[in-house]
């Protein structure tokens, strides 16, 4: 018997308290609990994590790279959303 | 080694015949992205040949990590001290992890891990030739960590910047873990060299047997390695086989001398002008024979892999049964 029909899970790890979970790779497992156990062995052998998320790969919807231009363009043109856009008189501090 | 194309001439011809015609505009755009040092990610458009080259290289690399556990695993139960045993266990476990990071990276290219593992077990896939040599004494474990992992690191550091994102990220993780592998091996060799006459003889014997195969890990000389040009253009490979091999030689020869080991090469000499160590000729016939299956342990390695897979079938069955039972409890 092979593990052909095992789900692929994407693994996210929180590296230290206070930081968000970050994608580190994937594992194959028969169920979500075993995915966590496998991820523990594969991705945290050196204390890399304090928390693991396992998400079925099939549950992830990703943006289309070919549509990236239209998707991100609206933000690109709005430079006034950054503090560096504004001029402040010389000598004014703490802003 | 990992960037080396180990296919036979016939296999390469077959692949060339299967060429797909790509849209020249898309190709140019793709190359421009690579030239700008952008990373290519799984869902991005990529030429079929790029995808195939990566699947072959990453899976070959993954297989090497997995088969690479066998020669060292041979000594876990016979490590000379408890300290050495813990270290060796941790190292071999790391190699399993490396194999899995890499299968995971390969899967982002649209190939299933099962398929890749089947190819290995059916003898259709290649892995690094170095793992077809036997580990005859404990000193071989020191020599492998120091020389084989040392050569692997030299090869792998540039791969951390390769153009395919998931491969580059897997390599960064691997490189971080590799440095202990090399140091523990060198430490074990140094300990033997401080030991009895018999222990020093054992260390030198391991050095004599592993030195040349370690140099071969970088693949055939640039003069005959035609496949590299395209991989260089795609930034899958950043330095030539000979460049990397020279880097390894220059770093390793002084390390050997520092602990009193001789390099088994009567023609070895330091070129004052270039600042490089120059070696005698490498026996490439031996390399190609091992690639073709005539290494001392090719058969044993594949046999061990297949029986591990077959004898582990009950674990996969038990996992499936356990998952089904747990799902039932959840539903109830
Ligand atoms: Fe490794
Ligand atoms: Fe290693």
Instruction: Kindly list the domain boundaries of chain A, sorted by start residue.
Output: 3-62
DSSP structural state of residue A57 = G
Contact B210, B148 (CB under 8 A): yes
Cβ–Cβ gap A1/B317 under 8 Å: yes
What global pTM score does this model have?
0.91
Contact B282, B216 (CB under 8 A): yes
Q: What is the reported pLDDT for A68?
A: 87
Residues 6+ apart with CB under 8 A from A43: A11, A13, A24, A25, A49, A52, B97
B241 vs B232: CA distance, rounded Å: 11
Q: What is the reported pLDDT for B273?
A: 97
| Min Cα separation B42/chain A (Å) | 10
B280 vs B237: CA distance, rounded Å: 26
Contact B266, B280 (CB under 8 A): yes
Which residues, numbered 37 to 56 in chain A, qualify as contacts with chain B under a Cβ-Cβ cut-off of 8 Å?
Answer: 41-43, 45-46
Using CB atoms, pick whichever of B41, B173, B319 lies closest to residue A30: B319
With CA atoms as reference, the chain A residue closest to B104 would be A26
Q: Calculate the average pLDDT of chain B.
A: 93
Residue B324 host element (H or E): helix B313-331
Residues 6+ apart with CB under 8 A from A2: B114, B316
Residue B4 host element (H or E): none
- Distance from residue B184's CA to the centre of ligand 2 (Å): 10
Cβ–Cβ gap A34/B322 under 8 Å: yes
Tell me which residue of B126, B101, B127, B128 sits closest to B113, measured CA to CA.
B101
Sign of CA dihedral B191, B194, B200, B205: positive
Q: What is the reported pLDDT for B228?
A: 77
How far is the CA of B236 from the CAs of B3, B51, B163, B230, B231, in angstroms? 8, 11, 6, 9, 5
| Min Cα separation B40/chain A (Å) | 10
CB pairs under 8 A between A and B: 54
How far is the CA of B206 from the CAs of A7, B133, B202, B218, B283, in angstroms? 44, 11, 6, 20, 18
Phi first, then psi, for residue A52 (nearest 5°) are -125, 135
B84 vs B93: CA distance, rounded Å: 14
- Distance from residue B71's CA to the centre of ligand 2 (Å): 12
Cβ–Cβ gap A31/B327 under 8 Å: yes
B153 vs B211: CA distance, rounded Å: 16
Q: What is the reported pLDDT for B6?
A: 64
What would the two tokens of residue B183 be?
């140091």
Residues present in chain B in total: 332
Using CB atoms, pick whichever of A1, A25, A46 lies closest to residue B104: A25
- Distance from residue B271's CA to the centre of ligand 1 (Å): 32
Closest ligand by atom to B147 CA: 2
Residuewise pLDDT in 10s, chain A (95 residues): 556 668 999 999 999 878 999 999 999 999 999 999 999 999 999 988 999 999 999 999 999 988 988 999 888 889 999 999 999 999 999 88
Using CB atoms, pick whichever of B93, B94, B323 lies closest to residue A31: B323
Cβ–Cβ gap B43/A46 under 8 Å: no
Contact B50, B34 (CB under 8 A): no
Task: Please identify every stretch of chain B with a pLDDT value under 50, giving residue numbers as ranges.
Answer: 1
Q: What is the reported pLDDT for A16?
A: 82
Q: Which CATH architecture has domain A3-62?
A: Roll (3.10)
Contact A17, A5 (CB under 8 A): no
Cβ–Cβ gap A42/B44 under 8 Å: no
Beta strands in chain B (DSSP E): 269-271, 276-278
Which residues, numbered 10 to 39 in chain A, qualify as contacts with chain B under a Cβ-Cβ cut-off of 8 Å?
Answer: 24-31, 33-34
Q: What is the dihedral of CA B282, B284, B286, B288, to 10 degrees?
A: 150
Which residues, numbered 56 to 75 in chain A, qualify as contacts with chain B under a Cβ-Cβ cut-off of 8 Å?
Answer: 62, 64-66
Interface of B to A at Cβ within 8 Å reads: 41, 43-45, 90, 93-94, 97, 100-101, 104-105, 107, 112-114, 170, 173, 177, 313, 316-317, 319-320, 322-323, 326-327
Tell me which residue of A48, A37, A21 sits closest to B173, measured CA to CA.
A48
- Distance from residue B134's CA to the centre of ligand 2 (Å): 17
What would the two tokens of residue A50 be?
């304090």
| CA contacts within 13 A on the Cβ side of B51 | 17
Using CB atoms, pick whichever of B93, B101, B320 lies closest to residue A25: B101
What would the two tokens of residue B192 be?
């033997």
Q: What's the pLDDT tens digit per position in B224-270? A: 876 678 899 999 999 999 999 999 999 999 999 999 999 999 999 99
Burial B189-200 (b: 16+ CB within 10 A, else e): bbbbbeeeeebb
Could you please report the per-residue DSSP string of B23-86? -HHHHHHHHHHHHTTPPB-TTS---HHHHHHHHHHHHHHHHHHHHTHHHHHTTGGG-SSHHHHH
Query: Residue A47: its chain B contacts at CB < 8 A?
Result: none
- Which of A8, A28, A30 to probe by mutation at the B interface, max B CB count within 10 Å? A30
With CA atoms as reference, the chain B residue closest to A31 would be B323
B240 vs B220: CA distance, rounded Å: 10
Contact A88, A95 (CB under 8 A): yes
B297 vs B71: CA distance, rounded Å: 9
Q: What is the reported pLDDT for B12?
A: 66
B200 vs B253: CA distance, rounded Å: 17
Using CB atoms, pick whichever of B100, B173, B326 lies closest to residue A31: B326
Q: In this predicted complex, what is the ipTM?
A: 0.85
């Amino acid at each position: 018997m092979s593990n052909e029909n095992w789900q692929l899970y994407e693994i996210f790890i929180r590296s230290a308290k206070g930081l968000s979970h970050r994608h580190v790779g994937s594992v194959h497992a028969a169920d979500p609990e075993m995915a966590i156990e496998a991820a523990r062995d594969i991705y945290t052998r050196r204390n890399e994590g304090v928390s693991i998320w396992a998400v079925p790969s099939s549950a992830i919807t990703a943006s289309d790279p070919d549509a990236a231009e239209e998707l991100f363009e609206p933000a690109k043109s709005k430079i006034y959303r950054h503090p560096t856009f504004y001029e402040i008189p010389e000598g004014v501090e703490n802003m | 080694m990992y960037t080396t194309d180990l296919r036979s001439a016939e296999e390469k011809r077959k692949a060339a015949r299967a060429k797909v015609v790509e849209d020249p505009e898309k190709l140019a755009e793709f190359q421009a992205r690579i030239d700008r040092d952008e990373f290519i990610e799984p869902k991005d458009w990529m030429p079929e040949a790029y995808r195939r080259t990566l699947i072959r290289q990453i899976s070959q690399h993954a297989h090497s990590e997995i088969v690479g556990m066998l020669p060292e695993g041979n000594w876990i139960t016979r490590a000379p001290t408890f300290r050495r045993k813990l270290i060796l266990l941790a190292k071999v476990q790391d190699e399993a992890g490396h194999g899995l990071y890499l299968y995971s990276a390969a899967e982002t290219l649209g190939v299933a891990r099962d398929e890749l593992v089947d190819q290995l077990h059916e003898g259709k896939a290649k892995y690094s030739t170095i793992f077809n040599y036997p580990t005859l004494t404990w000193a071989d474990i020191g020599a492998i960590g120091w020389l084989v992992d040392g050569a692997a690191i030299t090869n792998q550091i540039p791969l951390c910047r390769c153009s395919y994102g998931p491969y580059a990220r897997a390599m960064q993780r691997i490189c971080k873990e590799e440095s202990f592998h090399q140091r523990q091996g060198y430490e074990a060799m140094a300990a033997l060299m401080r030991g009895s006459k018999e222990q020093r003889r054992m260390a030198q014997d391991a050095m004599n047997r592993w030195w040349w195969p370690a140099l071969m890990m970088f693949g055939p000389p640039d003069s005959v390695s035609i496949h590299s040009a395209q991989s260089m253009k795609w930034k899958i490979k950043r330095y030539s086989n000979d460049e990397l091999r020279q880097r390894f030689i220059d770093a390793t020869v002084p390390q050997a001398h520092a602990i009193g080991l001789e390099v088994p090469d009567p023609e070895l000499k330091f070129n004052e002008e270039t600042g490089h160590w120059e070696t005698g000729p490498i026996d490439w016939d031996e390399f190609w024979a091992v690639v073709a299956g005539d290494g001392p342990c090719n058969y044993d390695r594949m046999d061990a892999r297949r029986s591990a897979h077959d004898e582990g079938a009950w674990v996969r069955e038990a996992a499936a049964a356990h998952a089904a039972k747990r799902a039932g409890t959840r539903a109830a």
